Every structure is written in C-alpha cells, then in structure tokens.
Amino acid sequence: MTQALRSGAIIVAGLLIGACVQLGDIQQTKPVRTLQFTGSHQAVAQCVRQRVGGKVQDDSLGERYVIYDSAKGNEREGLTHYAITVGRTGPDKGFAEWRIMRPARQAGPGTAARPLTNAMVQQYWTPVQECAARAKGSWFQDSFTIFS
C-alpha cells in the first residue's frame, strides 16, 4: 500500500470514528441556553418534539425528557448534534437546557471554531421558548399523554 493510500485510509477511519457521537457525549457539554418555566414539563417536551423533531429519551421515570439528534448539514452554522433536555423542578414547574456538539476545529493558522449562528438558535431554541410560553396558559390539557 502506498503512503498516499495509507494516509487516506487513516483520514477516512478518523472521520468514521468521529461520526459516532452518542447522547452521553452531548449531555456532557455545558448548556448553551437554559430557561425555567411554569407549566407541565411533559407538555413542553411534547411540543418541542413536534416542532424540532429528533429522537426522545425518557429519563428518571418521566421527570426528564431529552430530545436529541444530529444536525446534518449544519456544521457551517456551528453545530453537528443537539440535545434539548426538558425536566420537572417542582409541581407545575420545569426547566429546559440546550446542549450542542460543535464541529471539530480544523488544523492550521486562522481556523477558529465556527460560532453558533442565529439561524440555529431560531431553529432549535426559539421553539423551546415558545413551547414553554404556551405551557403557562391553557394550550395543553392535563390529560395529554406524552410519547405514547
């Protein structure tokens, strides 16, 4: 095998290994946005899931929901994966946190990490804010079932 083929194979293997981001990896990052709200955390999680999409993990026996997925094609916008955690802090009170995985930095001079763009904030965080605002009113009913 020539040196060029060997180098190419190493690069491809590195990209494949780096592509395997798990939810635990995202959850270990510091939240880029947080909020607290009054209302049903289940209703907020249901609303966020409908608006943003993604997969859902139910943690802590319904006390916390994590909506997560890859953000394919958004590397230039400052993220590759996201996780939105919606949880209960008390009776009729909750919180939401948005965590992201940023694209890997490119080697070389003048190559800083890409900042998170406003478009990504609008796509992923604004729905969380709107869902939390709706939870304060009567938009959701108590009998609503989440992720059945």
Give the pLDDT confidence of 83-98 residue by residue, as tens digits: 999 999 998 899 999 9
Give me the CATH number covering residue 46.
3.30.310.80
- 3 state SS of 69: strand
* pLDDT of 107: 55
2 lies in a domain?
no
Domain boundaries, position 34: 24-102+114-135
How many domains would you assign to the chain?
Answer: 1
85 lies in a domain?
yes
4 lies in a domain?
no
pTM, entire model: 0.74
* pLDDT of 136: 77
* pLDDT of 9: 45
148 lies in a domain?
no
Mean pLDDT of successive 10-residue segments in the chain (148 residues)? 52 48 82 93 95 88 90 90 94 93 71 81 94 70 29
89 lies in a domain?
yes
Give DSSP secondary structure letters for the chain.
--HHHHHHHHHHHHHHHHT---HHHHHTSPPSEEEEEES-HHHHHHHHHHHH--EEEEEGGGTEEEEEEE-TT-GGGT-SEEEEEEEEEETTEEEEEEEEEPPPPPSSTT-PPPPPPHHHIIIIIHHHHHHHHHHTTTSS-TTPPP--
1 lies in a domain?
no
* pLDDT of 14: 42
